[in-house]
Copies of this chain bind each other. A is one copy, B any other.
């Protein structure tokens, strides 16, 4: 199974794309160079969504004063959507490496596989949303160490799905600066955190290669995944941190009685 094919398979989470179709896709690959912005709106009609075949991208926003926030990384097998992304001047999807993508919706496919692709895209969108929430937890409630480990675990897991992890090791085309912008930390502090993790032998990062030893232990230490079985607990812990509330009367209030 080629790396490209596995990337495509990952999109669907199943064998939606057969070899023939991959080969077909392959002929229509589009490439982006490092640092270029991916603007899908400007492309011809059907290209509303593309799948990354190889390379990394990230979604980010710039603040007026130069601060940057990276919302997440896009890896092989991930979908890039048009959406508001490219609309809000300040937000963008940028290629972090040479990037190869293909249209997610194959032209002239049979209805069955169309539907399969549609489902795959929906599922992919859900996963992406989950990742957004994870990322928010990282920045809001995890310490620097935890943030770094948590993100590395996520990347490792995602890369594993597309066969880009060898043992404990995978490659990341990411400078410490980008890491910092993703995790809401300073470059210096990222550097020190990595150094510390390295010293403890849990994580090794050197020249674009990451090794995670004992992932289970790492996951536990940074609350990766097992985010409390809530249900009951949520309301319990909230019930006592609420204030009485009365909505402000609307200026032109007019009750509609039942």
Seen from chain A, the residues whose Cβ lies within 8 Å of a Cβ on chain B are 1-6, 19, 22-23, 26-27, 34-37, 54-56, 60-69, 71, 76, 83-84, 88-92, 94, 96-98, 126, 129-130, 132-133, 135-137, 139-141, 163-166, 169-171, 173-175, 177-178, 181, 183-184, 208, 223, 226-231, 233-235, 237-239, 241-256, 258
Q: Contact between B256 and A34 (Cβ–Cβ < 8 Å)?
A: no
Q: Contact between A245 and B208 (Cβ–Cβ < 8 Å)?
A: yes
Additional pairs, 20, CB under 8 Å, beyond known A26-B256, A35-B239, A90-B227: A1-B252, A2-B256, A6-B250, A35-B242, A36-B235, A37-B235, A61-B228, A61-B230, A62-B233, A63-B137, A83-B129, A84-B126, A84-B130, A89-B230, A92-B231, A140-B181, A140-B184, A163-B250, A166-B249, A177-B241
CB distance from A69 to the nearest CB of B (A): 5
Q: State which of B55, B235, B248 has its C-beta within 8 Å of the C-beta of A165.
A: B248
CB distance from A26 to the nearest CB of B (A): 5
Q: How far is the CA of A155 from the CA of B160 in the complex (A)?
A: 40
| Residue of chain B at shortest CB distance from A97 | B245
Q: How far is the CA of A67 from the CA of B3 in the complex (A)?
A: 39
Q: Contact between A247 and B54 (Cβ–Cβ < 8 Å)?
A: yes
CB distance from A24 to the nearest CB of B (A): 10
Q: Contact between B60 and A234 (Cβ–Cβ < 8 Å)?
A: yes
CB distance from A190 to the nearest CB of B (A): 13
Q: State which of B126, B136, B164, B248 has its C-beta within 8 Å of the C-beta of A170.
A: B248
Q: Using Cβ atoms and an 8 Å threshold, which residues of chain B touch A171?
A: 245-248
